[in-house]
Amino acid sequence: MKEEIKKIFRGDVEDSEETLKKYSRDASIFEIRPKLVLFPKDSEDVKNLVKWVAVNKSKYPELSITARCAGTDMSGGAIGESLVLDFTRYMNKLVGGPLPLENKSKWEITVQPGMFYRDFEKITLAKGLILPCYTASKSLNAIGGMYGNNSAGERTLKYGKMEDYVLEAKVIFADGNEYIVKPLSKNELDKKLKENSFDSGVYWGVSNLINEHQDEIRLAKPNVHKNSAGYYIWNVEDRGPKTKNGAERYVFDLNKLLVGSQGTLGIATEVTLKLLPNNKYSKLVAIFMNDLAPLGRLVDEILTENPETLETYDDKTIKLAVKFFPDFLKNKGLIGMFKFMWSFLPEFFMLVPGFFGGGFPKLVVLAEFAGENEEIVNKKCLNLVEKIKGFKLKVHTTRSESESEKYWDIRRESFALLRKHVRGKHTAPFIDDIIVQPKFLPKFLPELNSILSKYDLIFTLAGHAGDGNFHIIPLMDFKRPDAAKIIMELSDKVYDLVIRYHGSITAEHNDGIIRTPYLEKMYGKEIAVIFSQIKKIFDPKNIFNPGKKVPTENMGGTKKYIAEHIAIEHNAPHHS
Ligand SMILES: Cc1cc2nc3c(=O)[nH]c(=O)nc-3n(C[C@H](O)[C@H](O)[C@H](O)COP(=O)(O)OP(=O)(O)OC[C@H]3O[C@@H](n4cnc5c(N)ncnc54)[C@H](O)[C@@H]3O)c2cc1C
How many Å lie between the centroid of ligand 1 and the Cα of residue 429? 14
Q: Write the DSSP string, 194-222.
A: HS-SHHHHHHHHHHHHHHHTHHHHHHH--
Q: How many CB atoms lie within 10 A of CB 219?
A: 10
Following CA atoms 16, 18, 24, 25 in sequence, which dihedral angle do they give, to the nearest 10 degrees?
-160
Our answer on whether the CB atom of 148 is closer than 6 Å to any ligand 1 atom is yes
pTM of the model: 0.93
DSSP conformation class of 138? T
Beta bridge partners of 289: 363
Q: 320-343: string of b/e by CB count within 10 Å (b at 16+)? A: bbeebeeebeeebeeeebebbbeb
Phi and psi torsions of 512, nearest 5°: 50, -140
Q: Write the DSSP string, 280-327.
A: SEEEEEEEEES-STTHHHHHHHHHTT--SEEEEEEHHHHHHHHHTTHH
Q: Please, which residues have CB within 8 angstroms of residue 432's CB and are 6 or more apart in sequence?
A: 74, 471, 472, 473, 509
Dist. CA 470–CA 292, nearest whole Å = 14
Dist. CA 309–CA 158, nearest whole Å = 7
DSSP conformation class of 145? H
From 88, 149, 510, the mutation candidate for ligand 1 (largest count of ligand atoms within 8 A of CB) is 149
Q: How many CB atoms lie within 10 A of CB 346?
A: 14
Per 3-state DSSP, what percentage of the chain is helix, strand, and coil (rounded to 5)? 40, 20, 40
Following CA atoms 177, 253, 219, 540 in sequence, which dihedral angle do they give, to the nearest 10 degrees?
-10
Closest atom of ligand 1 to CA, residue 419: 1
Phi-psi region of 10 (alpha: psi -120 to 50; beta: other; left: phi over 0): alpha
Q: 544-560: string of b/e by CB count within 10 Å (b at 16+)? A: bbbbbbbbbeebbbbbe
Task: Determine the residue type at 122.
Answer: K
Closest atom of ligand 1 to CA, residue 88: 25
Closest atom of ligand 1 to CA, residue 162: 11
From 82, 150, 151, the mutation candidate for ligand 1 (largest count of ligand atoms within 8 A of CB) is 151
Q: Is 165 helix (H, G, I), strand (E, B) or coil?
A: coil
How many Å lie between the centroid of ligand 1 and the Cα of residue 78? 8
Q: Write the DSSP string, 76-89.
A: STT--SSEEEE-SS
> Could you tell me where the DSSP H helices lie in 345-482?
345-349, 374-387, 401-421, 441-453
User: Is 50:172 a contact under the CB 8 Å cutoff?
Assistant: yes
How many Å lie between the centroid of ligand 1 and the Cα of residue 227? 15
Our answer on whether the CB atom of 153 is closer than 6 Å to any ligand 1 atom is yes
How many Å lie between the centroid of ligand 1 and the Cα of residue 416? 14
Closest atom of ligand 1 to CA, residue 117: 25
CA distances for 98 relative to 32, 121, 123, 143, 167, angstroms: 38, 11, 8, 15, 13
- Give the long-range contacts of residues 4-9, CB within 8 A, separation 24 or more: 4/52, 4/56, 5/36, 5/38, 5/49, 5/52, 5/83, 8/48, 8/49, 8/51, 8/52, 9/38, 9/40, 9/45, 9/48, 9/49, 9/52
Helix axes 401-421, 333-343, angle to 10 degrees: 90
How many Å lie between the centroid of ligand 1 and the Cα of residue 148? 7
pLDDT in tens, the chain (576 residues): 899 999 999 999 999 999 999 999 999 999 999 999 999 999 999 999 999 999 999 999 999 999 999 999 999 999 999 999 999 999 999 999 899 987 777 899 999 999 999 999 999 999 999 999 999 899 999 999 999 999 999 999 999 999 999 999 999 999 999 999 999 999 999 999 999 999 999 999 999 999 999 999 999 999 999 999 999 999 999 987 777 777 778 999 999 999 999 999 999 999 999 999 998 889 999 998 988 888 888 998 999 999 999 999 888 888 877 777 667 666 666 666 666 666 666 665 555 555 555 577 888 899 999 988 899 999 999 999 999 999 999 898 988 877 788 888 888 777 777 766 666 678 889 999 999 998 888 889 889 989 999 988 888 888 899 999 999 988 888 888 888 999 999 999 999 999 999 999 999 999 999 999 999 999 999 999 999 999 999 999 999 999 999 999 889 999 999 999 999 875 554 444
Closest atom of ligand 1 to CA, residue 66: 47
Q: Is 128 helix (H, G, I), strand (E, B) or coil?
A: coil
Dist. CA 463–CA 218, nearest whole Å = 28
Phi and psi torsions of 504, nearest 5°: -130, 150
Closest atom of ligand 1 to CA, residue 85: 38
How many Å lie between the centroid of ligand 1 and the Cα of residue 339? 32
How many Å lie between the centroid of ligand 1 and the Cα of residue 574? 15
Closest atom of ligand 1 to CA, residue 136: 8
How many Å lie between the centroid of ligand 1 and the Cα of residue 493? 26
Q: Please, which residues have CB within 8 angstroms of residue 94's CB and are 6 or more apart in sequence?
A: 109, 110, 111, 115, 123
